[in-house]
Homo-oligomer: A and B are copies of this chain.
Amino acid sequence: MAECGRVDSSTSRHTMDKSITLPPDEIFRNLENAKRFAIDIVAKVRSFDHTAKAASDKLYEISVQEEVTARLHFIKFENAYIETCLDFIKDHLVNTETKVIKATGGGDEMTCLIKGCNFVLRNIPHEAFVYAKHADSEFRFQTTHPDIFPYLLVNIGSGVSIVKVESEDKFERIGGSSIGGGTFWGLGALLTKTKRFDELLQLASKGQHTSVDMLVKDIYGGSYGSLGLTGDLIASSFGKSATAEKEFSKEDMAKSLLHMISNDIGQLACLYAKLHNLSRVYFGGFFIRGHPVTMHTITYSINFFTKGEVQALFLRHEGYLGAIGAFLKGAEEDNPNQYSWGENYAGSSGLMSVSPDMNPMQRARSGTFDMLEMDRLERQLVNLPLLQDPSSYIPDTVDLTEDALAREYWLYCFEEALDGVVKRAVASQPDMPEAAERAEKFRQKYRHKLQTLRHQPFAYGSLTVRSLLDTREHLHDVAHILVHNCLFCLFFPSERPWLVDCYDQWFERIKGPPHKCALFFVDNSGLLSRGTEVVLASNSGPALNDVTNGELQILTEKIAAMDSVIQAGLKEDRLTLVQSGSSSPCLDLSRLDKVLATVVRERKTDLVIIEGMGRAIHTNYYAMLSCESLKMAVIKNSWLADRLGGKLFSVVFKYEVPAGRPSLDSTALTPS
């Protein structure tokens, strides 16, 4: 609460635009039900200038936990809205007994920053990315590792803090520099008379640093080979302005300044990383925050100084770290680590490209409001213990961020299907008068989302069929609609040979000794009768027409009443029903319910069966397991069938035996 007192904007109150009307249902809609507040006050400028304009460039963030849905809401907005927000908080939230308000910014924000960083690295898939300006996909997202420590966090605010993070509770500021974002801004303002940070970056992106900087070739006529210096290397930043009489353009000076600062930070980061033997270096702070120009120069600098040994990593939600950390600090009694969290694609703005040349409308929006919603899952999610190499496991078969053709198709496909989905949604709820209105709202939102993803496929990490499906699920949820219908109908099977046809091998295998325990994702078959234990893993929450664990429980009991094999299986504990932890029509084997993982281990599971388009084709088609696996699906999409070299309704029956663990077929062969 003490920190809150620092938000004393009384001097700037008069100059603020009070007429701004917030879009309340969009931005603050969940605040009224909030029990906890965590405000991260990012005060970049203080104490030396209390006048007017300066304040409007500050960013404030607010995070609210909505108890009902166990969802975290983080809203980032410009300082111009702080008054409105504070009034809102005062009117609705303060002095009611259930509210707890925590604010950070100043003093303790480093702890919050690190807490937040650990949180997003652990909980948000595709949180970290490598930036490659000239590559096909600008952003290359990293898979989330359960083991995130140790890492180096280089936070570039006004100055630079270089922090070594060794564990959840142990971090140390091992270095820093006074040459940071404030230096770019401050020197930039003095040199160009341009006061706005964004405009300075825009100037920089148009400039030529070579007209201001002295290059190696300007001194030596070419490279300085014996020292390994190329001719284009900057020998002296601003070296040419030392004696030249000419005027330098604002753009060129801004560019030179940006290079100077980015290179310096990059070099310091590399040296500290080397000294402390750290290979993962994350960059954050307002200097970086989504700005392609700075990400590019930092990346270039890191590559130059480490010769590619260290990669510069950036974070999609870097701007929320302080707020998330503040919330976590406030919610410590809840032990947030007993839960898992997922990014809600419906309620989150996603990563914006603030490239000045690109999508200026969205840039403006990004500058005003930016949201992140995190859904709390009441369980811990872990890797499937049967994954061959968890660290290299990628659930998704096609990365639509990289594959432009596939992206185009699937975005088109999902948009085309939208009307049908809406129609079915309304039809499936004939007794709900508001269903039509909700369905319409859903249609608008999803169309907008698809539009956004067309321009910024990287918004939520790697774009995949899974993320498109999940986004729709999240939007269903927001629109409070239920779609009891399926997009694709089940046809099984056509005549052989199938598109992928391991049926003969499987058939041979089946003749051998029975498996100890099979893990089924979703469907069932006749293994129980062979003495194989069966673990049925079904979704924890609803997605498409997939059966949920709750539904499966009821269903299984009904079947058991009719089928003696099932009945015996349940009775003898050879048939177990466990929830997967997922609410997606797809399957991420690195985020499974911890209970499922325990059962899999205890039962010594030696067969995994994954069935259906979402789980076996869109995801896990290439997943390598350490036991035998069956991946089965009918390709119910002609484009995809084409891509895979088959026809619509082609059958995939993929039976795989891990290398080094031969199937019975091959073990039966004696050396001849």
Q: Which residue numbers of A lie inside 8 Å of B, CB to CB? A: 43-49, 51, 53-54, 57, 106-108, 110-111, 157-159, 161, 173, 175-183, 185-187, 189-191, 195, 197, 212-214, 218-221, 224, 226-229, 234-246, 248, 253, 259-260, 263-264, 267-268, 271-272, 274-275
Contacts and interface: CB of A to CB of B under 8 A. Distances in A.
A54 B243 CA distance: 5
Given A178-B260, A271-B268, A275-B275, A244 B48 contact: yes
B218 A178 contact: no
Given A183-B260, A213-B178, A107 B228 contact: no
A248 B48 CA distance: 13
Given A46-B218, A54-B243, A159-B236, A275 B271 contact: yes
Q: Among the interface residues A43, A106, A243, which one has the most CB atoms of the partner chain B within 10 A?
A: A243
Given A57-B243, A190-B241, A245-B49, A108 B179 contact: no
Given A43-B219, A186-B242, 5 more contacts: A47-B219, A161-B227, A178-B235, A181-B236, A186-B239
Given A43-B219, A268-B268, A268-B271, A182 B239 contact: yes
24 contacts: A43-B219, A45-B239, A45-B243, A46-B218, A49-B243, A49-B246, A51-B245, A53-B245, A158-B219, A158-B242, A173-B228, A175-B267, A178-B234, A178-B236, A183-B236, A183-B237, A186-B212, A186-B242, A187-B191, A187-B237, A187-B241, A190-B241, A267-B268, A271-B275
Given A159-B234, A234-B178, A271-B271, A186 B45 contact: no
Contact of A186 (B44, B238, B245): B238
Nearest to A259: B178
Contacts of A268: 267-268, 271
A237 B49 contact: no
A664 to B, nearest CB: 56
Contacts of A274: 275
Q: Among the interface residues A176, A213, A239, A248, which one has the most CB atoms of the partner chain B within 10 A?
A: A239
B220 A107 contact: yes
Contact of A240 (B48, B177, B267): B48
Given A110-B226, A244-B49, A275-B271, A159 B189 contact: no
Q: Among the interface residues A191, A197, A219, which one has the most CB atoms of the partner chain B within 10 A?
A: A219
Contacts of A212: 186
Nearest to A244: B49
A182 B242 contact: yes
Given A178-B236, A227-B110, A241 B186 contact: yes
B236 A182 contact: yes
A195 B243 contact: yes
Nearest to A108: B226
B245 A178 contact: no
B182 A238 contact: yes
A368 B165 CA distance: 54
